[in-house]
Structure 1
Amino acid sequence: MSKKAELLEAIAGKNRGLLANEVDNVRVLSAIQQLEDCNPNPQPLKTKELLEGDWRLLYTTSKGILGLDRFPLLKLGQIYQCIRTSEGKVYNIAEVVGLPFLEGLVSVAATFEPVNNRRVSVMFERSIICLQRFFAYSSPSKFIQQIESGKKFLPLDFSLNRREQSGWLDTTYLDEDMRIGRGNEGSVFVLCKN
């Protein structure tokens, strides 16, 4: 079995990390490290065409992301990280489902700047919390088009202070359809190209 298949097997049934216990996390982190050791693109920022696009989250240890599932009557749907390399922008989008007609989105828009060939510095600029039905949400790409056109979203759409809301992300594995990242808070992210 390939290292990539071993990782996919380790994260199967873990609902992006929501159902993972400590033993599961150790197993997944071991599989991640083994895959990182054979990264076909050790300088991912030099292969922008592979980074570009909409990525769906398969697994994370991020308490901030997983915490979105802890609200009563709401469940975390799909989570995306959409990278636009030519603009130096990244969009994190979490779909939230629950009561009928109250399906929502939690999104953060940011800019990024390369620090080296695998690390980017991320500056968060805008946060959006809204209901999908009020703007006919259908996909991350169309939502991003609306953000870029200057559309404001209700009930919450506000600017963030770039200096106070920043971090970094290392891309530690990258191929045509999988990306692994490690963030400044110690979180790990496994994503597949959407």
Structure 2
Amino acid sequence: MSLKTELLEAIKDKNRGLSATENDKVKILTAVEKLEDHNPNLDPFNNLSLVDGNWRLLYTTSRSILGLNNLPLLGLGEVYQCIRISTNKIYNLAQIKGLPFLDGLVSVSANFEIVSAKRINVKFERSIIGLQKILGYLSPENFIDKIEAGKYFLPLDFNLELLNNNNQQGWLEITYLDENMRIGRGNEGNVFILERF
């Protein structure tokens, strides 16, 4: 069994980390570390075409993402991270499952600066929260096109710079990258495993 297959088996049926036990987390982190040791792209930001694009979250240890599942009467749906190298932007989108016709969306956009061959500094700038139907959400690509075209989604559209939030900055390091899988580690110690879609 390849190291990548071993990791995929370890995260299988873990619902992006929501159903992972402490033993599962140890097994997954061990599989992550083994795969990171065999990273085929040690300098991912020197290979921008592999970084750029749309990614779907398979597993994370991030409490802020997994915590979206704790909202009353709501559940965490698919989570995406879309990287646009040409504009130095990252878009994080979490679909929220609710009652019929009440599915929601939480979106955060950020600017990033490449600071090394593996790491970017991230400055979060905008958050959009609302019902998918009202926001006209069809897909991550369609939603990002609307944001990039200057579409505003008030009243649940927040400029994070104006909120003066101390958590508006961070960094992300890519520790494994191939044609269809990316593993990253963030400044809060979180692990993110994503697949290209």
TM-score, reference length from structure 2: 0.96
Structure 2 partner of 1:118? 118
Structure 1 partner of 2:60? 60
1:182 matches 2:152? no
- Specify every segment of 5 or more residues in structure 1 that has no aligned partner in the other structure, as ranges: none
Structure 1 partner of 2:78? 78
- Cα offset for 1:135? 3.5
| RMSD of aligned alpha carbons | 1.1
Identical aligned pairs, as a percentage?
60
Whether the 8 Å CA contact 1:129–1:155 is kept in 2: the answer is: no
| TM-superposition CA deviations, 1:113-169 (whole Å, max 9, x none) | 011100000000000001111133111000000011111114410101288310000
* 1:86 aligned counterpart, secondary structure: helix
Higher share of residues assigned helix: 2
1:38 matches 2:34? no
1:89 matches 2:92? no
Are the structure 2 counterparts of residues 171 and 21 from structure 1 closer, same or farther at C-alpha, using a change threshold of 3 Å?
same
Q: How far apart in 2 are the matches of 1:163 and 1:132? A: 25
- Specify every segment of 5 or more residues in structure 2 that has no aligned partner in the other structure, as ranges: none
* 1:137 aligned counterpart, secondary structure: coil
* 2:86 aligned counterpart, secondary structure: coil
* 1:100 aligned counterpart, secondary structure: coil
Whether the 8 Å CA contact 1:82–1:91 is kept in 2: the answer is: yes
